[in-house]
Structure formats: C-alpha cells, structure tokens
Amino acid sequence: MRDAEGAEPDKSRGRRPTMEDVAARAGVSRALVSLVFRGKPGASAATRERVLRAADELGYRPDNAARLLASDRSRTLGVMLTVHQPFHGDLVEGIYPEAERLGYDVLLSATGPGRDERKAVEALLGHRCEALILLGPSAPAEHLDELGRRTVTVVIGRRAPGAHVDTVRTADAKGIRQVVDYLVELGHRDIVHIDGGRAPGAAERRRAYRAAMRRHGLGDALRIIPGDHTDEAGIAAGKTLLAEGRMPTAVLAGNDRCAMGLMHALRSSNVEIPRDLSVVGYDDVHLAHLWPFDLTTVRQNADGLAQHAVRCAVDRLEDGTVPPREILLEPKLVVRGTTGPPPDGRRG
C-alpha cells in the first residue's frame, strides 16, 4: 500500500531539477548559480562555464514562478488581444521582438466569445504582469482609467480621454481626411461612411469623415450607415444599400473587414467595383493583399505601433516619474484597385 507511487498523477515523471541541484553538481552555492543565470557579474569565467554545463546536463530550466515571487520585478508585459482580429496578429508580431530586445517577457491573453476583456485582463494580472498592453479595448475610458491607476497600461488603437494610460494609435482623423480628399479629387460627391459603431477608433473616424465632408462643402451629401468593425456589418450595409436601390459612388468602410463584407454582399449584384462604386478600407491588414480586387485602404503602421507601445510601457516601468503619453503615428493612404473615378454622369 505504501508503495503505490504510480497512482499519484505525474510523480512518475520525476521532480524537475532546481537551482539547488545545479549548485550541488557544479560544487557551488545556490546564489552563485542564480548570479550566472541572471548574467550578473561576480562569477569567474571558469565557474560560470562549470555552472552552465552542470545546468545543461541536468536539463535545468529556471522556474518563472519562483523567480517572479522572489524578485520585485517580473519583467513581463501582458498583452490582451482579440484572436480573430488579423490586425492584432500584426501587432503581436511587432511586440515580441521589441519586448525581447528590452529584456521583457510577453504573455498573451485573448478575448473571445465567453471570455470578455475583464476576464482576459484578470488572467494577465494574476500572472504578475507589470504592464498591460491592450489591443483595441472596447472598455469605457473610466474602466481603463481605473486599470491604469493600478498598473502601467498602454492602449493601442484608440483614444482614452482622461484615462491614466498611454495611448498609441494612428492619426485616424488624418487618414480619413486623406481618403475623402482623394475621393473628392477623383470626382466623387456621394461618399457614404459605414462606421464602426462603438469599436475602438470608430468615433474618431466618424468625426473625421464628417469634418472632411463639410470641408469640401459636401455637408449635405454626408451619410453614415451604422456598422461595426466586422465582416457582418459590411454585409449588412451592402444589403441595405442594395435594398435602397440608390448606390453612392464611393463607400468608406470602418475597416478592412467591413469593406470586405461589403464587397462580398455586392458580389452577386450588378454593381461592379470600382466601375460603379469605389470602396476604401482601413488598417491594411496582412490578409488584404490577397483579395481578388486589391483593396484601397489606409495603412496603419503595425510595427511602429507595437514598438512604441512596448517602449511606453517599459519607460514608465523603469522610471516611475514618467507620465503616460499619447503617441500618434502617421497613416498612409494606399491606393489599389477598388477605387476609381465615379461613373459618368455622377461626377461632382
């Protein structure tokens, strides 16, 4: 009965080696092993070598939990993302290398159906992340403010007015203005905006659209179809437009996915893009370049956003006196194949 070791789960796999084991094997103290693994000075080259060899032979791997617990710093950044936003993928790919360069670890936590932002963030905090990087959070500014006062927090992709957080985003207003200017230049007057509803950045894009239209004296032609930053919203908007029977000459979608949904919905109609309708997206997600028609869109500099976000977080972690910043990156209109002059007879 006493020997029923096998019954206990996992005992068979054996305890993994600890720093103590490495120390014993290398014939030094635990503290010295610690020094070596942290790359701190205070160990001779020979000893260092001996320790590393011993560790390697034992298959030793430092235990993060213990390390976290013992040190006051965790050097870990928590990233909240939505696993189905391709643009978030672009951002994550930029965050990893920058964090590594600065000596930080990265933990990802995804939102999704049945897992809201609060839950995702709690998970990160529970793992001792020192700072949070939130990709396009939809939480209200007050909530972000509360978070920001508890932990260093960086928000990517939207404004968070009044909240004690860094924000890193594209100058959306400028991007939208570029699009409207470009469309007007082509001769468009009847330019509709499918907005992003309450999605991150949507409010500002909406505002910028209104302002730009007015600036061109098109205040009357201004029209916003309520939407969202999803394919479904684009499809719905497309159906709406078809049902009305009166197409605008250009549509400025809330983001690329929405633009894609729109084009999808129009696919089986007799509306041809860009002959009858110009369509512009926003984001320039990686996958967009695969579209059968190249989407004209506004590029957000994902790598730039990612790098700035990491640096904001680290700067504030390493110097508690630095206040949160607001960083704006330049958008860039990328003209491809879904835009052109309006059909004859409908010029501005």
Partner DNA sequence: GCGATCTACTAGAGCGCTCTAGGACCGGTA
Partner DNA sequence: TACCGGTCCTAGAGCGCTCTAGTAGATCGC
35 interacts with DNA by CB under 7 A: yes
**In angstroms, how far is CA 254 from the centroid of its own chain?**
16
Nearest distance in Å: CB 320, DNA: 16
Minimum separation from the CB atom of position 262 to a second copy (A): 10
| Residue 43 interface partner, choices a second copy, DNA, none, CB cut-off 5-8 Å depending on type | DNA
What part of residues 293-312 is at the interface with DNA (CB under 7 A)? Answer: none
Q: How many whole angstroms separate alpha carbon 273 and alpha carbon 269? A: 11
Query: Of these partners, DNA, a second copy, none, which one is at the site of residue 102 (CB under 5 to 8 Å by kind)?
Result: none
Out of 1, 70, 243, 290, point to the residue binding DNA (CB under 7 A): 70
Which residues would be at the binding site for a second copy (CB under 8 A)? 6, 8-13, 59, 61-66, 68-69, 74, 83-84, 86, 89, 92-93, 96-97, 100, 105-110, 112-115, 122-123, 125-128, 130, 150-151, 231, 257, 260-261, 263-264, 267, 286-287, 289-293, 317-321
- State which residue, 50 or 308, has the beta carbon closest to DNA: 50
Evaluate whether 193 touches 224 at the Cβ level (below 8 Å).
yes
Q: CA 286 to CA 92: how far, in whole Å?
A: 13
Q: Mask: binding to DNA, 72-111, rule CB under 7 A, as x and -?
A: xx--------------------------------------
**Closest separation in Å from C-beta 154 to a second copy:** 15
Between CA 210 and CA 163 the distance in angstroms is: 26
Tell me how far apart the alpha carbons of residues 312 and 299 are, in angstroms, rounded to a whole number: 22
In this structure, the chain runs to a length of: 348
Picked from a second copy, DNA, none, the partner binding residue 340 (CB below 5 to 8 A depending on kind) is: none
Is the CB of 31 or the CB of 83 nearer to DNA?
Answer: 31
Give whichever of 33 and 180 is closer to a second copy, judged by the CB atom: 33
Cβ 57 to DNA, closest distance in Å? Answer: 15
Closest CA to 282 of 258, 307, 256, 308: 256
Q: Which two three-digit tokens encode residue 200?
A: 């991150």
Q: Give the nearest distance from C-beta 189 to a second copy in angstroms.
A: 27
Shortest approach of DNA to residue 99 CB, angstroms? 18
Please say which residue, 63 or 303, places its beta carbon nearer to DNA.
63
Q: Does 62 bind DNA (CB under 7 A)?
A: yes
Asked if 29 touches DNA (CB under 7 A), the answer is yes
CB of 44 to DNA, least distance (A): 4
Q: Is 323 in the site for DNA (CB under 7 A)?
A: no
Residues at the interface with DNA (CB under 7 A): 15-16, 18-20, 27-32, 34-35, 37-38, 41-44, 46-47, 60, 62-63, 66-67, 69-73
